[in-house]
Amino acid sequence: MIQATIFYFLAAMILIPALLVVGLKNVFHSALWLVMSLFGVAGIYAMLAADFLFAVQIIVYAGGIMVILLFVVLLSGRPSDWAQRQVNEKAWAAGLFSLFFVAVLGTTLSNWSLIPKLEEPKLSTGQLGTLLLTDMVVPFEVVGIVLVAALIGAIYFSNRKSS
């Protein structure tokens, strides 16, 4: 009973801020609500006993969004520039695609069993670390190179604007 209550609380903590992210006009406020939603996802990982994913969610995603917020504040100028129109001429196409996606998702989910199957986690954090530094070392390093390239590109474009 308490697990179901916590789950529904975390689900609301994910969904309500996610709706506010796409509904608010202020970019800064949307980013703050996104951080709240990401904390809710971290709570779901904690409920699933996925300690590594919980820590990564908090550090990388929620922390990374806060760093992006700092860049927005420092590079975007006045707060009046943050409020932009959220709907454009392609909103109807996006709405139709969303309805199609919800229909496909609903059809898929209607075929699933809603009875949970409890199992012990098969992969520990130690095993995951060993896997990342042995068999998966090349993809792990490629992701690091891509992130460094993105950071260099962001620095280049932010310096080019101010010159």
What are the two backbone dihedrals, phi and then psi, of residue 160, each rounded to the nearest 5 degrees?
Answer: -65, -35
Predicted local distance difference test score (pLDDT) of residue 139: 87
Distance CA 163, CA 140 (A): 35
CB 37 within 8 A of CB 18: yes
Q: Give, for all 163 residues of the chain, the pLDDT tens digit.
A: 888 899 999 999 999 999 998 888 777 788 889 889 999 999 999 998 888 888 888 988 888 877 777 676 667 666 665 555 666 778 889 889 999 999 999 998 888 877 766 666 666 778 878 887 888 889 889 988 988 888 888 788 777 655 5
Residue 15: what pLDDT? 95
Per-residue pLDDT, 121: 63
Residue 92 in domain: no
Same domain flag for 1 and 73: yes
pLDDT at 91 (0 to 100): 81
Q: What is the residue range of 137's domain?
A: 121-163
Within a domain: 108: no
Same domain, 128 and 73: no
Of the three residues 48, 78, 108, the one that is the final residue of a domain is 78
| Residue 83: strand pairing partners | 26
Rg of the chain, C-alpha, whole Å: 20
Distance (Å, whole) CA 71 – CA 159 = 13
Q: What CATH number should be reported for the domain holding residue 73?
A: 1.20.120.1200
53, 45 Cβ separation under 8 angstroms: yes
State the Cα–Cα distance between residues 28 and 77, nearest whole angstrom: 12
Alpha carbons 68 and 82: distance in angstroms, whole number: 14
- Say how many domains are in the chain: 2
